[in-house]
Amino acid sequence: GENVEQHPSTLSVQEGDSAVIKCTYSDSASNYFPWYKQELGKRPQLIIDIRSNVGEKKDQRIAVTLNKTAKHFSLHITETQPEDSAVYFCAAIFSGNTPLVFGKGTRLSVIA
Amino acid sequence: EPEVTQTPSHQVTQMGQEVILRCVPISNHLYFYWYRQILGQKVEFLVSFYNNEISEKSEIFDDQFSVERPDGSNFTLKIRSTKLEDSAMYFCASVRVSNEKLFFGSGTQLSVL
């Protein structure tokens, strides 16, 4: 069935360094790829998304890249800050009106 | 920004009891969802609801689960006879049209004892 693989499961970086989280998806018809940030005990919050007709999207320190040929997309956080520490989930919609399928999450720790 | 609201925030129940989790989606949204998240794990899809009927459901959503939209605003998830493994955070979500930003509620933490 439809699947989203996410790596790494945990990531520790020094404050100010960059963090990169990668996801791969199984269905080439997928057309929408959001990233969510979840702090402990809170709801997932959308931080950035990208559609299949775009290769890259940036919002301040956050960027997402999409490689449709390879079926993978990545989240890039530059100049990381301690408040970036959270669990990040990638997700994908596989076709039409199907629901979002989430990756397993990456626990990012930014060390001051 | 508009919000999806969920009640209660916490629910403790005995195994075998019925629970109803309540959600009020954003008013102009058309697609409604229930997801669950077991502690430390990923967000898992349970069911989607559109045009007053279930449009898709996962393997998790067995006969013990049901959803309802009893009026124009509420969207409920019922678990008929809870099991220990139903303990999780349950998130309601809604979207105006598919392929747009999915708005999550703040969740109901269900604990089955």
Give the closest residue to B50 by CA, choosing from A96, A58, A53, A85.
A96
B107 and A45 within 8 Å at the Cβ level: the answer is: no
| Tokens linked to A19 | 């963090």
> Is the pLDDT reported for residue A96 higher than 70?
no
Is the distance from CB of B4 to CB of B104 less than 8 angstroms? yes
pLDDT, greater one: B2 or A14: A14
CA closest to A3 among chain B residues: B44
Give the largest CA-CA distance in chain A.
43
Q: What pLDDT is recorded for position A97? A: 67
Chain B CB contacts of A46 below 8 Å: 101-102
- Residue A1: exposure state from Cβ atoms within 10 A (0-12, 13-18, ≥19): exposed
**b/e map of A41-77 (b: 16 or more CB within 10 Å)?**
eebbeebbbbebeeeeeeeeebbbbbeeeebbbbbbb
**Mean per-residue pLDDT of chain A:** 93
Confidence label for B75 from pLDDT (cuts 50, 70 and 90): very high
Model pLDDT for residues A59-85, shown as the tens digit of each residue: 999 999 999 999 999 999 999 999 999
Is the distance from CB of B78 to CB of B20 less than 8 angstroms? yes
Contacts of B59 (CB under 8 A, 6+ apart): none
How far, CA to CA in Å, does B83 sit from each of A21, B15, B48, B65, B91?
A: 35, 5, 22, 12, 18
Give the closest residue to A25 by CA, choosing from A88, A80, A102, A97.
A102
> Is the pLDDT reported for residue B8 higher than 90?
yes
User: Which residue in A42, A44, A49 is closest to B43 by CB distance?
Assistant: A44
Model pLDDT for residues B40-56, shown as the tens digit of each residue: 999 999 999 998 999 99
Model pLDDT for residues A21-59, shown as the tens digit of each residue: 999 998 878 889 999 999 998 999 999 999 988 899 999
Is the distance from CB of A4 to CB of A101 less than 8 angstroms? yes
Chain A CB contacts of B99 below 8 Å: 31-32, 51, 93
Is the CB of B54 inside 8 Å of chain A's CB atoms? no
pLDDT above 90 coverage of chain B, percent: 84
Is the CB of B32 inside 8 Å of chain A's CB atoms? no
**Residue B78, Cβ neighbours under 10 Å: how many?**
13
Q: What pLDDT is recorded for position B11? A: 97
Confidence label for B97 from pLDDT (cuts 50, 70 and 90): confident
> Is the pLDDT reported for residue B98 higher than 80?
no
- Cα A89 to chain centroid, rounded: 5
Closest-CA distance, B18 to chain A, in angstroms, reads 24
Contacts of B54 (CB under 8 A, 6+ apart): B47, B48, B67
Chain B CB contacts of A96 below 8 Å: 98
> Is the pLDDT reported for residue A2 higher than 90?
no
Q: State whether residue A90 is helix, strand or coil.
A: strand
Cα-atom radius of gyration of chain A, to the nearest Å?
A: 13
CA distance A18 to B27: 39
Residue among B5, B43, B57 with most chain A CBs within 10 A, to mutate: B43
The residue count of chain A comes to 112
B91 and A44 within 8 Å at the Cβ level: the answer is: yes
**Mean per-residue pLDDT of chain B:** 94
CA distance B6 to B91: 8
Chain B CB contacts of A49 below 8 Å: 101
